[in-house]
Amino acid sequence: MCGICGVVGLRHATPIVFEGLRRLEYRGYDSAGIATLVDGRVERRRAAGKLDNLGRLLEDNPLAGTTGIGHTRWATHGAPTACNAHPHGTERVAIVHNGIIENFETLRRELEAVGQVFQTETDSETIALMVDFYLTQGYAPREAALNTLKRLEGAYAVAMIFAGHEGS
């Protein structure tokens, strides 16, 4: 396991989140990523390998916004690739997750049965796609998150951001 961090503020979030990830480097990791809200939209940058790789990506493709989350990953489910790097999500939500969702296979099958399409091999993406599913059913972000957390088995820490919901 490695680290997650997040910021809700008035200043540019990416440098603050990136510094948070730097401080978590000592725990070990294989990939890293950051998501922020840019004009209310979820945007992500992810890279395999060292934080410097993510840093270079961010130099080439800066990430604006004042609300953001970040992750350093130690893969438990799925190879340490950029695609499997967190944050995971959709246009409605992005999540970072440390830990293991032990019942993810059951949840994944349930979500696929209602039409959710997975992009990664991770257990963590089930969280994102379950929250997203509840959002599409009309639940507010807090309820969508709480409904999802009730279904998770395992040990985990999670942070989420929601499109159109800066500052929370």
| Binding footprint of ligand GLU on the chain (CB under 6 A) | 1-2, 73-78, 97-100, 122-124
The Cα 86–Cα 152 span in angstroms is 18
Nearer Cβ to ligand GLU, position 88 or 92? Answer: 88
Nearer Cβ to ligand GLU, position 38 or 158? Answer: 158
Nearer Cβ to ligand GLU, position 86 or 92? Answer: 86
Report the 10 Å Cβ neighbour count for 154.
12
> Read out DSSP for 86-103?
SPEE-SSEEEEEEEEETT
69's CB contacts (< 8 A; 6+ apart) are: 4, 5, 6, 17, 34, 35, 36, 87, 94, 95, 96, 159, 160, 161
Nearer Cβ to ligand GLU, position 49 or 78? Answer: 78
Start-to-end C-alpha separation, the chain: 26
The Cα 94–Cα 131 span in angstroms is 9
CB of residue 70 vs ligand GLU: minimum separation in angstroms? 12
Nearer Cβ to ligand GLU, position 4 or 38? Answer: 4
CB of residue 111 vs ligand GLU: minimum separation in angstroms? 17
CB of residue 168 vs ligand GLU: minimum separation in angstroms? 24
Using DSSP's 3-state secondary structure scheme, residue 162 falls into strand
